[in-house]
Amino acid sequence: MISLGGDGTLLDTVTFIKDKGIPVLGINYGRLGFLASIGREDLHTAVSALVKGTYVIDERTLIHLDANIPLFGDVPYALNEFTLHKKDSSPMIKIHAYLNGEFLNTYWADGLIVATPTGSTGYSLSCNGPVVFPDSGSFVITPVAPHNLNIRPIVVPDNNIISFEVEGRTDEFLCSLDSRRELVAKETQLAIKKELFVLTLSA
């Protein structure tokens, strides 16, 4: 599949591919080009490489969301990141994070990002998260505007299940997978893990 647009267009393309294993070629017609890295002036060369079979395949990890209520329809996964975030005008929220059921940390913050290696160059990076290699087999947990100055992003192996409990003065918070968002009650049980399938990018 050929994605004509920016990185946002390519992220939307992921929701169409699902687990079919179809390689995606991103041609950058937008502003950002981290994922859709081939310029429009190189379109002819890219198509020629597809025809000749001289392109390179790059497999990218996806992140999967499990919840005790239906969320995000039949695409409960993301290429870049999963986020928990306070509603626009509400005070900061308190997020308890657990790794395989064991307490990891409590974050007083505007939100929390769990990024894949691909997503480590996106929202997580803008919140001072580290950049990790695509094949590093890891997730990056990055707080958004944390209240405690000693709280920093951490990198964990992607074979862990990360679960959350959220407290706050409001009854709802925002949950997102890439650019898709849902308003979720704070009693909702959420857990993320590595998706069983990958996204294949061609270059």
The domain boundary, picked from 39, 55, 71, lies at 55
pLDDT given for residue 51 in this prediction: 86
pLDDT given for residue 77 in this prediction: 97
Overall average pLDDT of the 99-110 stretch: 96
Per-residue b/e over 151-167, b at no fewer than 16 CB within 10 Å?
Answer: eebbbbebebebbbebe
48 plus 78 within the same structural domain: no
CATH number, position 119:
2.60.200.30
Catalytic residue among 7, 110, 158, 178: 7
Residue 202 lies in a domain: no
| Number of structural domains in the chain | 2
31 plus 81 within the same structural domain: no
pLDDT given for residue 83 in this prediction: 98
Q: Does pLDDT of 32 surpass 80? A: no
Q: Which domain holds residue 7?
A: 2-55
d(CA 90, CA 81): 22
pLDDT bracket for residue 25 (50, 70, 90): confident
Please answer whether residues 139 and 113 qualify as being in contact, where contact means their C-beta atoms are separated by less than 8 angstroms: no
The domain boundary, picked from 10, 38, 55, lies at 55
Our answer to whether residue 7 is catalytic in this structure is yes
Q: What is the pLDDT of residues 117-171, one digit of tens each?
A: 999 999 999 999 999 999 999 999 999 999 988 889 999 999 999 999 999 888 9
128 plus 35 within the same structural domain: no
132 plus 174 within the same structural domain: yes
Q: What is the pLDDT of residues 38-80, one digit of tens each?
A: 888 888 888 888 888 888 888 999 999 999 999 999 999 999 9
Residue 18 lies in a domain: yes
